Structure 1
Amino acid sequence: MSVRPPHHRRSVRRLRTAIAGAATGVLLLGLATPPAHAGDGTEAQLGTTARTAGHARFEPGPCPRTADPIPALGQARCGTLTVPENRSQRGGRMITLGVAIVPAAASRPTRDPIVWFAGGPGDDAVSEIPLALNGGLNRDRDVIFMSQRGTYSADPALTCPNIDQFNADALGLVYGAPSTGRLHVEATRTCHDRLVGLGADLSAYNSTESAADYADLRVALGIKQWNVFGISYGTDLALLYMREHPDGIRSVGIDGVLPPSLAGGAVTWKAAQEGFDGIFDACAQQPACNDRYPHLKTTFERLVRELEARPVTTTVTVPDRPEPVKVVLDGGTLVNWLTFASHLAAGVPRSIDELAHGNPQRIAEQLAGGKLSPQAIGRLSHGLAYGVFCSEWTPYETEADVLRAGRRAFPSFPESVLANAPGLAWLHADCRAWDVPAAPRSVRDVTHSDIPTLVLSGGFDSQTAPSSGPYAARTLRRSTEVTIPWVAHVVFADSPCAQSITTSFFDTPTAPDTACLSGLRPPAFDIAP
């Protein structure tokens, strides 16, 4: 584990300007009266009064639609923030972003709230309310959730169910085959054309517009000072927001760090290497795991090569589906599986060992369960995701850059595997179909800031890399950098210690309590009889 305490410098450098994340949503059902603890002018503005901030307008109203019931919304104060779709065009159309303010659990809460920056890009902030509350984020403070523009509870919602359905159907295709890539790009182009036909300005769904949305929200709600907590892509957005709109920010927490200067396919290969090695090393250090599953890393990399040369086909049963589901496992599919199976690290060695002995069922069931889950269809905003990917990432990283990063991380993998970064297959081809202009290069700037910042990483993070946290923290002069060992991407979701550190940080941003780190233990791996 690593803990880096806050560090200070006498000279305060000017914050570098940058382009920050795009956010849209629909606001949640609100209470008719201001919160009971209102009284100094900060919380009172979270009540029933409509307010404007430049061209933006907050208006109290009903809560947004949600795909699943969220009981906490019954106590939330909600509304909509109406903002320009494209701030560079005078007189253009307006869009609405959903806002829900979940009250603090404490009877006498602290005045400065926390605003939640969702992951993705393309995840809906309102759907992440249970994650935030299960970790106790609203213990002492109200927590504000605003759907980033284009997401599920926004208007418009730029979802692409046809792409999600293709990804589900592609379980039965060879992942690395050129024909699979062509079909995926066709699905991407089909959604692009549908959204454009509905009047969406796809170039306006990006991190720059999102940062401005949050700046407008703070002013429109009459909040003098708030705290920011971002996860996954929300950390990219938070770092941009700190540069672009530093006013009114008391402190920032970022978890599962994706620095804008690194975002792209290359860092996903680095993340896969670091996260996978974390699991393999943890198994090797436990005698029971090492004895039962020796040379786990070597076995996994051999399986990637063998499956890429000779894919394996099997069928599995998925709940609520009457017919068996065909699953094809090739090398790239195996890499993608482990990228997300790191969240179930205790079972990874057994799953790899079973595959090595001719039984792919456990891995195939996990793959099918994820792709065919109702949560995987129609909920992600591909409009926002490609808006970020194709304006901020691919213009500043070539396909050759991604391939070189893959070779550095996994020199034994075939080129057909390395051509598609984990979770970002065919991205450059998709972006050519999405056809949005590149963002200014400043979107990739490193963030320099004196705002107190908590930087959280997980030792098993195979999606954004454990090393990305220390990288970001080095230019955040009042930062506390913490790596939680043996935990995957977004440690706040799974680690009570991370949750404790986070709530402590918002109490005392320059001196959070990290004592729980000394009591952490590695997972007990699943040992087959």
Structure 2
Amino acid sequence: MNSRKTRVVLAVAIAAAIFGYKAMQQKSGADADKAPAGRQDAAPVAAVKPVMLGKIAFTPCSLSSEMSRDNVDAQCATFDVPEDRANPGGRRIALNIAWLQATGNGEKMPDPVFFLAGGPGQAAVESYPALDPVFKEVRKHRAVILVDQRGTGKSNLLSCAAIAEGDDGAGDDAPEKMQAQAAQCAQALSKKADLRFYTTTDAVADLDAVRQAIGAAQVNLVGVSYGTRVAQQYAMRHPEAIRSIVLDSVVPNALGLGNIFARNLDDALALQFALCTKEPTCKDKLGDPRAELDTLLVKLRAQPVAVQYRDATSGETRQDTLRAETVAALVRMYAYMPLAAGLLPKLIHEANAGRYENLMALSKMMTSGMKDAMAMGMQLSVVCSEDADSMVSRAEDAGTVLGNLMPDGMAAMCKAWPKGNVPADFHKPLATRVPALVLEGEFDPVTPPRYGKDVVKTLPNGRLFVLRGQGHNVIGAGCMPKLFAQFMEKADARALDGKCLDTLAYAAPFTSFNGAEP
């Protein structure tokens, strides 16, 4: 991977993980039942009678995910909204929607659950299937509604995949080069979208239009990562329409997110690496993981290394260059999932001994999987409109794993990106009596527990659970699905008995590629 591409992956695709990213590539299965190629003699299929939910006509579909063994039966539809609500006669966006009907035989509640995906740039319809088991009890009595946020999934996807790769050369990782690439992306996407109108505020208006169209007086919002920003903004704008909110890995409204990455990652790594340094066998075999990581980064910044490795997808032997930025990206992504992060001390120790191939192979697998996981154009419309003022370098971040790579790169790209309007009170903390369940992972490298503590201060009917040893996106950990279902039933977070979460265990670090010490 050349230096410019490495930098772009870090500053965009990973920075998008501002709000969270688990390295998954998920695909909607809505069109999975097409006839085999070349087959012309299939009998005509009778038209399926639509099922109405309010004013929207749905037809059967199946949702699938590479992270889930099973498909999820659903009803799918599109719903048109104006791109610019001040110009209702202009371009329109067909929002992609999936409706998962309640599965139980008992009472069906009138207030559905809206699941809000992370990113910004992930699509709800694509992201949900892997989480469906978490919603099993909730779905017995309530429907789940998935709306691909405008600019993601099948709702006028804003992807920058068509940008030319460019040539290698000195200075290609400079901010002005990244600014030029963003300008090229914006120019390409402007043929199909006015990029000023793909912000969180626009998405909130879309969600309320869908709510009204399906005839729901109130809804329950479940936001994960960036989805928590959408949930809080919706609750601010439409308080009468909210029955409850769940904020998993919460992004505080009051926070500017331009330069939070470096410090949050280093804090999380300190906690995760301590699992090795506190274990005598691990420390004896692998040393101090943070000191080893710093040694590796210094070495690669001075001289990147050409590495032969086995491609995880094809099995073929390949060669590429391992750079400090590549290692930083891998470390950050693995830190989202402490179980995977348990392998980092071993990988880093091996690399310092000159054995780079495993680190290289995993890094390439991660970046190839991450490449298409976020709608980069939509992401830039969100962050450049809402967080650009906070994208500033800080001297105290210079010695961190990421340094000031994120704010420098993002600030450069945002100079070239069209920006939408943001309400004057956009960054005001959410203050509401709506019942709220707030979840954080103890080891989260992007939305640490202190964010949850700040958010619940203005939620008198809110309650925070910090899940021991967990990373980012924790609603499926341990007994959390059971507590989630209980909260959906009673809308009373304070009544929940969270003692079952005490059984969550820390993931032991690997001391060899066979696993942890027995």
Task: Identify the TM-score tier after normalising by the shorter chain.
Answer: 0.7 to 0.9
The aligned counterpart of 2:37 is none
- Tell me the number of residue pairs that the alignment of Structure 1 and Structure 2 aligns: 463
CA distance in 1, matches of 2:224, 2:444: 13
- 1:142 is the counterpart of 2:143: yes
Choose from 453, 459, 470 the match for 1:487: 470
Aligned to 2:52, which of 45, 48, 52?
A: 48
Q: Secondary structure at the match of 2:348?
A: helix
Q: 1:303 and 1:270 mapped to 2: Cα distance?
A: 19
Question: Is 1:191 the counterpart of 2:185 in the alignment?
Answer: yes
- Aligned counterparts of 1:85 and 1:437: Cα–Cα separation in 2: 12
Contact 2:63 2:73 in 1 (8 A): no
Distance of aligned partners of 1:274 and 1:106 in 2 relative to their CA distance in 1, 3 Å threshold: farther
**Are the structure 2 counterparts of residues 109 and 65 from structure 1 closer, same or farther at C-alpha, using a change threshold of 3 Å?**
same
The equivalent position to 2:486 in structure 1, one of 504, 512, 519, is: 504
- Does residue 466 (structure 1) correspond to residue 449 (structure 2)? The answer is yes
Q: Who is 1:435 aligned against?
A: 418
Q: Relative to 1, partners in 2 of residues 1:244 and 1:314: Cα closer, same or farther, differing over 3 Å?
A: same
Seq. identity, %: 26
Deviations 1:121-165 (A, max 9, x none): 1111111121220323544332111100011211x22122235x9
Q: CA deviation at 1:496?
A: 2.6
State whether structure 2 residue 351 is matched by structure 1 residue 355: yes
Q: Distance in 2 between matches of 1:350 and 1:27?
A: 38
Counterpart of 1:418 in structure 2: which amino acid? G
Deviations 1:201-242 (A, max 9, x none): 110000001111111111111112221101111011111111
Contact 2:257 2:391 in 1 (8 A): no
Where do residues 27-426 of structure 1 align in structure 2 (5 Å cutoff)?
Answer: 47-48=51-52, 51=55, 58-61=56-59, 63=61, 75-108=73-106, 110-111=108-109, 112-137=111-136, 138-140=138-140, 141-154=142-155, 156-162=156-162, 178-179=172-173, 181-198=175-192, 200-321=193-314, 324-342=317-335, 343=337, 344-373=340-369, 376-377=371-372, 379-394=373-388, 396-399=389-392, 403-404=393-394, 407-408=395-396, 410=397, 412-413=399-400, 418-421=403-406, 426=409
3-state SS in 2 of match to 1:95: strand
Which secondary structure state, in structure 2, belongs to the residue aligned with residue 148 of structure 1? coil
Q: How much has 1:319 moved relative to structure 2?
A: 4.0
Contact 1:97 1:146 in 2 (8 A): yes
Deviations 1:476-498 (A, max 9, x none): 221110111212111125x2333
Structure 2 gaps, min length 5? 1-27, 32-46, 514-518
Structure 1 residue 33, shift from structure 2 partner: 7.9
1:322/1:356 CA distance change after superposition, 3 Å: closer
The one-letter amino acid of 1:270's match is: R
Give the TM-score normalised by structure 2: 0.81
Distance 1:441 1:125 in 2: 28
Q: Which runs of 5+ in 1 are unaligned?
A: 1-25, 35-46, 52-57
Shift, 1:265, TM fit: 2.7
- SS of aligned partner of 1:313: strand
Change (3 A) 1:323 1:521: closer
Note the alpha carbon deviations across 1:240-263, whole angstroms, 9 max, x for none. 111111122111111121123224
| Contact 2:479–2:500 (Cα < 8 Å) also in 1 | yes
Measure, in 2, the Cα distance between the counterparts of 1:262 and 1:94: 32
Of 127-136 and 287-296, more deviation after overlay is shown by 287-296
Q: What is the letter of the counterpart of residue 376 of structure 1?
A: K
Task: Give yes or no for contact 1:104–1:139 (8 Å, CA) kept in 2.
Answer: yes
The whole-number CA distance in structure 1 between the counterparts of 2:478 and 2:104 is 19
Measured after TM superposition, the shift of residue 503 of structure 1 is: 2.2
Q: Distance in 2 between matches of 1:128 and 1:296?
A: 33
Looking at structure 1, the residues matched to 210 and 488 of structure 2 have their Cα atoms a distance apart, in angstroms, of 20
- How has the CA–CA distance of structure 1 residues 203 and 461 changed in structure 2, closer, same or farther, with 3 Å as cutoff? same
1:257–1:457 contact (8 Å) kept in structure 2: yes
Counterpart Cα distance in 1 of 2:52 and 2:145? 15
Relative to structure 1, the CA distance from residue 310 to residue 500 in structure 2 (aligned partners, 3 Å threshold; closer, same or farther) is farther
CA spacing shift, 1:75–1:331, aligned 2, 3 Å: closer
When structure 1 is superposed on structure 2, of 461-470 and 382-391 the one drifting more is 461-470
Which range moves more in the overlay, 142-151 or 460-469?
A: 460-469
User: How far 1:433 moved relative to its partner?
Assistant: 1.7
Contact 1:252 1:451 in 2 (8 A): yes
